[in-house]
Amino acid sequence: MSETAASVSNAPVSNASVNAAPVTTSRGRSARFALRAVQVPLALFFGIASALPKLVAHPSAVEPFERMGWGDAGMYTIGVLELAGAVALSLPLLQSLALSGLMAGAFIVQLTVFDGEDAATPLILLVPLALVAWARRGHTTELLRRVRRVRHVGRMWPSV
């Protein structure tokens, strides 16, 4: 064994150095590709097919919100949330949380306000969103860690 190899093998290993460079395997690349193949169409669907009609007040989007009594404010709010979710699906730190809560709420609204009409749609969309959330749960942990760190730093400064 060479002197360099001996010194490297005896060097202490920290958690930071182990976690810094994850080993990329063929299976890992395939899984990331498959996950991305789910996320991109979902993001396009939510951004174009779902949010855009609400944001431009297309008649097909206006009518359900009038039936619910939510009016234009509700329609635009949901449109903005869907667009934000579509963008979040492309951001690694946010993609695990994108739209899952919104789809759960949409399912409840479909059941309660529209007597179950089209209630399957949010459930069908919730399945791939839950898959993304589960696969990206490490990103959720990192996001929560960052939020806690910001909240902790904020408490250290006196209020003005």
140-157 pLDDT, tens digit per residue, is 788 778 888 877 665 655
d(CA 3, CA 22) in angstroms, rounded, equals 26
Q: Is the pLDDT of residue 8 over 60?
A: no
d(CA 75, CA 102) in angstroms, rounded, equals 13
Q: How confident is the model at residue 98 (pLDDT cuts 50, 70, 90)?
A: low
Answer yes or no: are the C-beta atoms of 109 and 77 closer than 8 Å.
no
34-87: pLDDT as tens digits: 888 888 898 899 999 999 999 999 999 999 999 889 999 999 999 998 998 888
Answer yes or no: are the C-beta atoms of 115 and 68 closer than 8 Å.
no
Measuring CA to CA, which residue among 104, 102, 95, 93 is closest to residue 143? 93
pLDDT number for residue 149: 82
- Regarding predicted confidence, which is higher, 118 or 3? 118
Answer yes or no: are the C-beta atoms of 102 and 77 closer than 8 Å.
no
Tell me what the mean pLDDT of segment 2-11 comes to: 45
Strands, E assignment, the chain:
none
d(CA 68, CA 47) in angstroms, rounded, equals 22
Residue 15, CA atoms < 13 Å, CB-side half-sphere: 0
